[in-house]
Amino acid sequence: MLTIDNLHAEIGGKAILKGLNLEVPAGEVHAIMGPNGAGKSTLANVLGGKPGYDVTSGSVQFKGEDLFELDPHERAATGLFLGFQYPVEIPGVSNVQFLREAANSQRKYRGEDPLSGGEFLKLAKEKAGLLKLDMEMLKRQVNVGFSGGEKKRAEMVQMGILDPSFAVLDETDSGLDIDALRVVGDGINAIMRKPDKGVLLITHYQRLLDVVKPDRVSILAGGRIVQTGGPELALKLEAEGYNAVMADA
């Protein structure tokens, strides 16, 4: 579903990704763990198409398409969802307005009919309920005045509404207390744990992986995938730390 081949990328002339290879087939949750500065967020941003990141070589195939041929909004419409580590505040724009425009922009790109106001609200209510987010929050401005945890839950409500086929979730667990972590994890499972969907779960900690059980775990260090294994690799990292595990490899 997502195939990353020998990806090199840099920011402001500084090389961050240095030959990254990764394949995530449909039906899999692939966790990416790694020390600070390894390039985890850069990977998410390059996949999303954030301005300022230069891909110097390599390729990414997404659902059979060359991802880098698509603009960021086209990537989204093709089914790629990027869960932000730091969701952006948009003063003056309500969540409802933002998400309805987003959903309908994606549908238009795919040649589908737009959702009516009623259809959209029904969908939004259902997904907000799934993430235990008060529907009133969705009437407020996008992420403005939201706590860290509320922002992350709102991200997952967005994901539920947009119903992507692939999600890249960049430290979605950061800023969450234990209860919220469970809610968010359950949300990810409910929305994305399907045979025709895939997830790249970028995280520092095992605790999210206790809820969203990964099929594969990779360690990203120095801009490359240095080790890949099953769920036990995450447990080993948690117990022994990156240095010890990577030294063993």
Partner 1 sequence: MRLWPMPDAATLSLPTRRDEAWRYADMDALARIGAPALDQWESISVLAGETWHHSMVVGSDTPELHRFRVTLGEGARAELFVTNAGQDFARVEVEVALGRGAHFEFGGVTIGGGNAVREFVTKTVHAEPEATSNQTVRSVHWGAGTGNFLGEIKVARDAQKTDAAQDFKALLLEAGASANAVPQLEIFADDVKCAHGATVGQLDEDARYYMAARGLSPDTAQHLLVQAFLGDAFVELEDETKREELLNAALKALEGASL
Contact footprint for partner 1 (CB under 8 A): 48-51, 71-73, 75-77, 81-82, 84, 87-93, 97-99, 101-103, 105-106, 109, 158, 162
Q: Which of 198, 160, 219, 208 is nearest to 29 (CA)?
A: 198
**What's at 105, amino acid-wise?**
S
Three-state secondary-structure class, residue 108: helix
**Cβ proximity to partner 1, 4 vs 167, nearer residue:** 167
- Our measurement of the distance from residue 12's CA atom to the centroid of its chain's CA atoms, rounded to an integer in Å, reads 24
CA atoms of 46 and 111, how far apart (whole Å): 26
Nearer to partner 1, 5 or 74 (CB): 74
- The four Cα atoms 3, 8, 9, 10 give a dihedral, to 10 degrees, of 170
Q: Which two tokens stand for residue 206?
A: 């095992």
Could you tell me which of 120, 113, 200 has the C-alpha nearest to residue 160? Answer: 120
User: Minimal distance in Å, beta carbon 146 to partner 1?
Assistant: 14
Selection from 218, 165, 206, 239 nearest residue 32 by Cα: 218
CA dist., res. 187 & res. 185, Å (int): 5
- Least Å distance between CB 230 and partner 1? 30
Closest to partner 1 by CB, 73 vs 125, is 73
- Give the shortest CB-218-to-partner 1 separation in angstroms: 23
Rg of the chain, C-alpha, whole Å: 18
H/E segment holding residue 225: strand 224-229
Q: Say how far apart CA 127 and CA 70 lie, in whole Å.
A: 28
d(CA 26, CA 36) in angstroms, rounded, equals 28
